[in-house]
Amino acid sequence: MSIDITMTKPNLSDIWSWLAAVADPEIPAVSIVDLGIVRGVRWLKNELIIDITPTYSGCPATGVIALDIEMAMVKKGISNININTVLSPPWTTDWISDIGRKKLKDYGIVPPAHAANSCAGMIGLTGSNAAKIDCPLCGSGNTERVSQFGSTPCKASYRCKNCLEPFDYFKAF
């Protein structure tokens, strides 16, 4: 591959806004920036370095995210990309932006409680010890956890006993 010396490097705020348009593969309603997956963006000479921290080490989506980022950048004419996976510090639900939390809620997924309040969610307690989660549809606190794992390992399945609707809770950890 030859390096195009005439390439102008887009500025970082443009790159952040393009990344903010890359949907999370598991929850397309939110972007990888909303979720706090993108940790840093910088130019190293002509190479664009993008640091990402996967939301959950067991999430198979990490490879998809890297590919989606690469495709989004290539579309903008940036081909020299290095996606750097950063595992420390580990991702926490506290990194989800306020906009991200609102989008999750609008999508019908209860945004995670702040990690400090959610030991129950982290260690997978069930029954009456499970985290108390309000129904996103009717607001009732009368909900029960159906299973620790929802449609993905990152989410737990809940059911509202008031309106009987099932919903997902994005586990805090």
Instruction: Give min distance, CB of 13 to Zn ion, in A.
Output: 41
**Distance of alpha carbon 32 from alpha carbon 137, whole angstroms:** 25
| Stretch of 26-34, 41-49, 78-86, 140-148 lying at the interface with Zn ion (CB under 5 A) | 140-148
| 140 lies in the site for Zn ion, by CB under 5 A | yes
* Closest distance to Zn ion from the beta carbon of 160 (Å): 3
* Structural tokens at position 151: 């449609």
Strand-pairing partners, residue 47, are: 44
Of 6-14, 21-29, 84-92, 135-143, which part binds Zn ion (CB under 5 A)?
135-143
Long-range contacts of 56-62 (CB under 8 A, 24+ apart): 56/91, 56/153, 56/154, 56/173, 57/87, 57/90, 58/153, 59/26, 59/152, 59/153, 59/154, 61/24, 61/25, 61/26, 61/152
Of residues 138, 141, 147, 151, which one binds Zn ion by CB under 5 A?
138
Least distance to Zn ion, CB of residue 169, Å: 13
- Please identify which residue in 72, 133, 160, 172 interacts with Zn ion, judged by CB under 5 A: 160
Tell me 59's DSSP state: -
- Using CB under 5 A, which of 80, 148, 157, 162 touches Zn ion? 162
Binding site for Zn ion (CB under 5 A): 135, 137-138, 140, 160, 162-163
